[in-house]
Structure 1
């Protein structure tokens, strides 16, 4: 049994706090005996974002910014790697045939305009010139003879006219005497005078025809005479063929792809070597159609050659090609176009050549800008 004198725990006064120590105030409603003490309440923290979701959103925002930048750059600063260096490439082919007697250049040699490249045996062409000169001399001599023939025919005509005039006057005189003194002139004499006049008229007509024939055979007496023009043209052609036996450089440039040597036979129109105008080079860039909205002649261009990627060059847009042959076009006039049945969701963008000039072609050539070299192109529109 419990001692009535013993007080309950609730009646026991709380002990005084020790000196120098502080105690936390007790709760107004102390927890019941045997219960766990109450934990202090802390403010709730905001929920934390899932790291995966966070990085997905950052990546999506970055992609949107990148897409917007790409679309703007594609229109205002178009870029392409489909570009090559171009120049005028001329096959050196003889215009006359013959044996090659000398080749005066070597492969990849720089040449000047008019410099001798090769020579073809000129012997037969020299003979042709001599023959043409002789033919011209014969033609001139023949024209002089024809001119003399014309002069002789004209003189014969004048003589026939004078004789006709004399016979006509004699006939008129006899007829007048016979009219004044009938029977003074015999009928025989009158008939003879008339016959003489008629014969003279025939002679005049014949002389006139001979003169006309001589004039037509001679033609013009000046430099426009057809025979003289033909003879001079033959001489000019022979001299030109002789000149063609010397193959010379058409301009400043470089000779490459040399295929022959002395002793080979050169056929007309068959290339012997290739000439490249390396001092007149440009870039042909293939830009997509959606790149061309703001591109115009004069726009600045950055050019980076694959051979020297750390030395960009400057250029200017020369022109934009106005048309290309599409897959639907046909080369036969009057035929219907062939339509390609495309079933793809996406179609390839059409590309158009854009011609770009180097601001300093000498620097480009010095850095190794060869025909066919690949170039990265960046156009600044505006």
Structure 2
């Protein structure tokens, strides 16, 4: 564009000075004629860069999601293929559900048995109480016999063996009473142990059953969002482990970012018009709007030790809006959003971007021509092989 303006200027000078001879060709005229394009070009370039900033560092990116499963098992069937678009909720692949179905049946049987066991706790506790009373009566009788044998042995009317046998019987009854009381206490603890108003043993098995049902549901892996699956290498019969990535899903939502020098974005604001000339779309100018400028770089963020993070350091200290995009190496990031009538862009596309501020709008025409020339140049493939 600059070359075209200089050519037009040269033509006007030739017409006025050489052809029509309306202006004399002297020293003063020569100084003006040669100086004007130099200083004019400098002023034009500086004005364009300030009021219509341009950059060739544009990146189009889509967030990705690792498709994993939280269950262990063999892949039963794969429903997608490479470069396939999917909708949220579409089935991607399934894992053999048989082990999890068997686990559910086993837990359902255990839960049924536990309900029967808990319902019998009342009768078991009552039986234990009666058993303790019976044993206590036998112990009382045994203690009376011991006293009788002691009196008879002292009088010489009974042998000592009968006394020792009565004492052994009493001790055995005491042991049986202690065991019966322990059994009764255990049954009462199990019967009265509750969780959220339900017997604890039943609640535990019910929780295990719910977990088993959830595990079964995870054998069907669904697409978490709309997107594209660029590469599928998963095969039927492969073993999947929890949190092992099966493949990657590229989300539909795109992030279009551009990197500008720190002094280039003084005149722009959110909502300004943006034009993109991408290498993946030669000859086309893509319309967009400036969504926001990330007013932070990693070089200005201090870590806990008081030092600067630097260009390749972590972004843990950067605000949330800044952490949504990559490192800037000291440049400011501008994020764009496509106009509604624009089609999604190629993931990973690179190119040129221009932001048109609200100042000196006649400059927009010059910059628009430059962007369109740049888009046409994208047709050229300068390779020697």
Above 0.5 in TM-score? yes
> Which stretch has the larger CA shift, 135-144 or 102-111?
135-144
Other-structure match for 1:356 = 336
Aligned residues: 274
Contact 2:195/2:203, CA 8 A, preserved across alignment? no
Task: Report how far residue 350 of structure 1 moved.
Answer: 2.4
Q: What is the CA deviation profile of residues 110-131 of structure 1, one whole-angstrom value per residue up to 9, with x for unaligned ones?
A: 1122111112222222222222
Residues 315 and 215 of structure 1, relative CA distance in 2, 3 Å threshold? farther
Structure 2 unpaired stretches of 5+: 1-23, 134-179, 312-327, 359-385
In structure 2, the residue matched to 1:216 is: 189
Q: Can you list the C-alpha shifts for 1:73-106, whole angstroms capped at 9, x where unaligned?
A: 2xxx332221222222112122222222221111
Deviation at 1:264, TM superposition (A): 2.1
Counterpart residue number, 2:255: 282
1:299 and 2:275 aligned: no
2:27 corresponds to 1:49 = yes
Deviations 1:299-345 (A, max 9, x none): 33223332224332322333333433228866xx44745889xxxxx
- Deviation readout 1:231-277 (Å, 9 max, x if unpaired): 22211221122222222211222112212211222232222211112
2: distance between equivalents of 1:373 and 1:360? 19
Q: Which runs of 5 or more residues in structure 1 are unaligned?
A: 1-45, 160-206, 341-347
Counterpart residue number, 1:319: 292
How many angstroms apart in 2 are the aligned matches of 1:154 and 1:144? 17
- Tell me how far 1:213 sits from its aligned partner: 6.0
Report the counterpart of residue 235 of structure 2 in structure 1. Answer: 261
Cα shift at 1:49:
1.0
Distance 1:302 1:336, change over 3 A: closer
Q: Counterpart of 1:310 in 2: which secondary structure?
A: coil
CA distance in 1, matches of 2:118, 2:42: 92
- The structure 1 residue matched to 2:44, chosen from 54, 66, 69, is 66
Give the equivalent residue in structure 1 for 2:4: none
In 2, are the aligned partners of 1:314 and 1:360 still within 8 Å (CA)?
no
Q: Is the 8 A contact 2:287 2:338 kept in 1?
A: yes
Distance of 2:120 and 2:195 partners within structure 1: 12
Following superposition of structure 1 onto structure 2, how do residues 163-202 of structure 1 map, counting pairs within 5 Å?
Answer: none
Which of 80, 102, 117 is the equivalent residue of 1:142? 117
TM-score normalised by structure 1 residue count:
0.60
Q: Is the 8 A contact 1:153 1:214 kept in 2?
A: no
Other-structure match for 1:227: 201
Structure whose alpha-carbon radius of gyration is higher: 1
Name the SS of the counterpart of 1:286 in structure 2.
strand
Map 1:19-30 onto structure 2 (within 5 A).
none
Q: TM-score under structure 2 normalisation?
A: 0.59
User: What is aligned with 2:99?
Assistant: 124
Distance 1:282 1:130, change over 3 A: same
The 10-residue stretch of structure 1 (52-61 or 317-326) with the greater mean CA deviation from structure 2: 52-61
Residue 346 of structure 2: aligned partner: 370
Q: Could you say what secondary structure the match of 1:82 adopts? A: strand
**In 2: Cα distance, 1:96 partner to 1:216 partner:** 36
User: The residue matched to 1:232 in structure 2 has which SS?
Assistant: helix
Q: CA deviation at 1:286?
A: 2.0
Structure 2 residue 219 is the aligned partner of structure 1 residue 245: yes
Conserved 8 A contact 1:94-1:268 = yes
1:152 shift after superposition: 7.1
SS in 2 for 1:326: helix
Specify whether residues 150 and 356 from structure 1 end up closer, same or farther in structure 2 by C-alpha distance, changes over 3 A only. farther
